[in-house]
Structure 1
Amino acid sequence: MKRILTTSLIAAAVMSAAGAAQARDQIRIVGSSTVYPFASYVTEEFGALTNYPTPVIESTGSGGGLRLFCNGIGEGTPDITNASRRMKISEFERCEKNGVTDITEAKIGSDGIVLGQSADNEAIDLSLSQLFLAVAAKVPADGELVDNPNKKWSDIDATLPDREISIYGPPTTSGTRDAFEELVMEAASEEMEAYGGEGYADIRSDGVYIDAGENDNLIVKRLAKDTDAFGIFGYSFLVENPGIIQGASIEGVKPESEAISSGDYPVARSLWFYVKNQHADDVAPLYEYANMFMEEQMIGKAGYLMDLGLIPLPDAERTQARKQVAGHEALTLADLK
């Protein structure tokens, strides 16, 4: 009887230790490289202004972050993931399948996707169709779709520069890549008869489009040296590198804050983060961090993050987003449809 009691006590102690191992006061964040500069600022402020340690944040790309986030609950999985696009239905269903069933969605602002080049080059204006014809895997020719033969911008249109087409862009795990495919590739191809009115988003793999990884700062550095090339990245990186890079106009509209906010700039998208509510009991500062991120002094029209390139949401939308986060409102499948 004494042995049984001792064994029971040991088992209880092990279970207690396991529970304590999961309880922590440092938040773990993954996700979008575009949201990374904004989230990094908030994490530093959080570490400086609270009694909690600075959260650990990793730039994994939107798709990579959501995959990690949806792997399950408990130790070894992140508490928050950032995204430069909205969560997909398939990702929500994967979360549910793995037991992540209580998620709060936070919309923090807007951003434009920039086609950047060296500031030493002449300014350029491209249409969506010209940009599509530069990067699509297959393009129309003589009534059929063929492998993209365009090597120079002037091959697409004689009025464009006689420069080799070379574009550094994000990988398939990136929300910026997802948004580029939707807002540029699909939007342009749907207007082309050759694609039958359906969006075509396959990007060429012959070396013209160069997968530059998740670190958009590396793209900026490459453009400073490779002055013939272009790069695809978020507007915030344009703001952070004045005099080094410039953004191409798209459909005659420059990538500027007001044009992105109003929707006049054709390649604009929303930015988000997602909170795993099931971690709130074990990760004490989780909600405090989320609420700080949503404060007016962060995401408002005179907020700190605007200086880094975040485009604030309209007042009513910002208020609603803040309310959802403060109330820990659970995202549903119907919300994403």
Structure 2
Amino acid sequence: MKKLPLIIAAGLVATASAASARDYIEVVGSSTVYPFTTVVAETFGNKTKFKTPKIESTGTGGGAKLFCAGAGIDTPDITNASRRMKKSEFDTCQKNGVKDIIEVQVGFDGIAFANSKKAPQMTLTRKDIYLALAKTVPGKNPGELVLNPYTTWKDVNPSLPATKIEVLGPPPTSGTRDAFAELALEGGCKTFDFIADFKKSDSALYKATCHEVREDGAFIEAGENDNLIVQKLEANPNALGVFGFSFLDQNSDKVQGSIIDGASLTFDTIADGSYPVSRPLYFYVKSAHIGKVPGIKEFLAEFVSEDSFGDDGYLVEKGLIPLSEEKRAGFREDATKMTSLSM
């Protein structure tokens, strides 16, 4: 009788161990990459013996935080990112035991600055976008920076309509927000010579001036759900929204992208680099989980197949802008050989 508790305890340990094991892949991260990964997951689940992976849209920053929390299988296997992993995120991964990370660039995406088709299409410059949405902007005196005073688009540029500045966009945890700040806001910010000079003399001031978004209601954080932004634009034709090209492509009957610096947002303008607000998309795989969670190696192979992210792959039909054949081959080799990322 004295041995019974030990038998029960051993049984509980075995049960707990079995419960902690996973028989499906967990993916977190970017809302922009989310629809692409979801399609790959569904295809993978249908054509293999493995369970369909669980995909969660947490935003790029949120995904990196979950991914880098540790190497145990209670953490995600893969994280999507609508920008390259930051050095600080990589260092956090290393510190927490996530040593071997496989990096795969999926393709390219353009950031749409879109409005309802019920309203006229906007023609903007990155300078217009900066002046409309930055927290601080040049004042009336030379070299002066002031809190953003502009309330209408006409205030920013006399050629624009006198409608209230109201832009729905992603939160700070989003890779789309990071890319928007770097490509659109900073792109317009550095057209002012005295601010561009800050990059050498005071890099912290330069980043704050060029990346910080105003907090007075003109920019509205709408979460990680890009479909919700599209719905809100339909309901409010005077508003604009910031999200990835794939969502614009999928909702082209409802919303339209603005012309930015003379370039329309299309598949071709992203691919040839003429659209100024475009960025690469990635996902990252935890090598330590390969062999512990079933199907990761096979899922990775599906994602980097020509059927998936190739020129005529099913992801292109969903709005992905593919990499060149040479780059695809390089990332496919990295995935196959499980080459670890270094920074």
Residue correspondence of structure 1 range 70-89 to structure 2 within 5 A: 70-89=68-87
The AA in structure 2 aligned to 1:163 is T
What aligned pairs does 1:38-53 form with structure 2 within 5 A after superposition?
Answer: 38-53=36-51
- Kindly report which structure 2 residues correspond to 1:244-283, keeping only aligned pairs within 5 A, or say none: 244-283=254-293
Please give the alpha-carbon distance, in whole angstroms, between the structure 2 residues aligned to 1:135 and 1:181: 10
Q: CA deviation at 1:49?
A: 1.1
Q: Determine helix, strand or coil for the equivalent of 1:323.
A: helix
CA distance in 2, matches of 1:224, 1:328: 44
Q: What CA RMSD, in Å, does the superposition of the two structures yield over aligned residues? A: 1.9
Alpha-carbon distance, 1:187 to partner:
2.3
Tell me which residue corresponds to 1:210. 220
Contact 2:111 2:180 in 1 (8 A): yes
Give the Cα separation in 2 of the matches to 1:17 and 1:318.
43
Q: Secondary structure at the match of 1:287?
A: helix
Residue 24 (structure 1) shift: 2.5
Give the letter aligned to residue 183 of structure 2. Answer: L
Q: Is the 8 A contact 2:29 2:62 kept in 1?
A: yes
Aligned equivalents of 1:96, 1:10: Cα separation in 2: 38
1:294-305 to structure 2, matched below 5 A, reads 294-305=304-315
Is residue 114–residue 258 contact of structure 2 (8 Å, CA) maintained in 1? yes
1:290 maps onto 2:300 in alignment: yes
Counterpart for residue 165 of structure 1: 165
SS in 2 for 1:120: coil
Query: C-alpha deviations, 1:212-259, integer Å up to 9, x for none?
Result: 000000000000011000000000001100220000011000000111
> 2:38–2:55: 8 Å Cα contact kept in structure 1?
yes
CA distance in 2, matches of 1:105, 1:331: 6
User: 1:71, 1:277 → 2: CA distance?
Assistant: 15
Deviations 1:59-97 (A, max 9, x none): 000000000000002232101000000000000000011
Give the residue type in structure 2 aligned to 1:24. Answer: R
After alignment, is 21-30 or 174-183 more displaced? 21-30
User: 1:120 & 1:319 partners in 2: Cα distance?
Assistant: 43
**Structure 2 unaligned spans of 5+:** 200-205
Aligned partner of 1:315 in structure 2 is 325
Per the TM alignment, residue 10 of structure 1 is displaced from its structure 2 partner at its CA by 8.0
Aligned partners of 2:20 and 2:74 also within 8 Å:
no
Tell me how far apart the structure 2 counterparts of residues 276 and 19 of structure 1 sit (CA, whole Å).
Answer: 21
Aligned residue for 1:186, secondary structure, equals: helix
| Alignment-derived partner of residue 134 in structure 2 | 136
Matched with 2:53 is 55
Q: Taking every aligned residue pair, what percent have the same amino acid on both sides? A: 46
Q: Is the CA contact 2:132–2:156 (under 8 Å) kept in the aligned structure 1?
A: yes
TM-score by length of 1: 0.93
Task: Provide the C-alpha distance between the structure 2 equivalents of 1:197 and 1:113, rounded to a whole number of angstroms.
Answer: 26
For residues 99 and 11 of structure 1, the distance between their equivalents in structure 2, rounded to whole angstroms, comes to 30
8 Å CA contact 1:113, 1:176 repeated in 2: yes
Gaps of 5+ in 1: none
After TM superposition, give the deviation of residue 188 of structure 1 in Å. Answer: 2.0
Among 238, 245, 260, which residue is 1:235 paired with? 245
Task: Using the TM superposition, give the Cα deviation of residue 22 of structure 1 relative to its aligned residue in structure 2, in angstroms.
Answer: 4.0
Shift of 1:305: 0.7
Name the SS for the 1:109 alignment partner: strand
Instruction: Report the counterpart of residue 222 of structure 1 in structure 2.
Output: 232
Report how far residue 38 of structure 1 moved. Answer: 0.4
Relative distance call for 1:301 and 1:119 in structure 2 (3 A) is: same
Partner of 1:119: 117
Q: CA deviation at 1:161?
A: 1.0
Offset at residue 17 of structure 1 (A): 5.2
- Give the letter aligned to residue 157 of structure 1: N
Give 3-state SS (helix, strand or coil) of 1:232's partner. strand
Q: How many residue pairs align between the two structures?
A: 331
Corresponding letter in the other structure for 2:114: G
> What is the Cα deviation at residue 145 of structure 1?
0.6
Aligned mates of 2:14, 2:328 — CA distance in 1: 42
3-state secondary structure, aligned to 1:282: coil
> In the alignment, residue 255 of structure 2 is paired with which amino acid?
I
Residue 183 of structure 1: aligned partner: 183
Q: Aligned with 1:139: secondary structure?
A: strand
Residue 190 of structure 1 and its aligned partner are, at CA, apart by 2.1
State the distance in 1 between where 2:258 and 2:237 align.
14
1:67 counterpart residue number = 65
Aligned amino acid, residue 246 of structure 1: Q
* Contact 1:189–1:197 (CA under 8 A) maintained in structure 2: no
- Once structures 1 and 2 are overlaid, which stretch shifts more, 275-284 or 103-112? 275-284
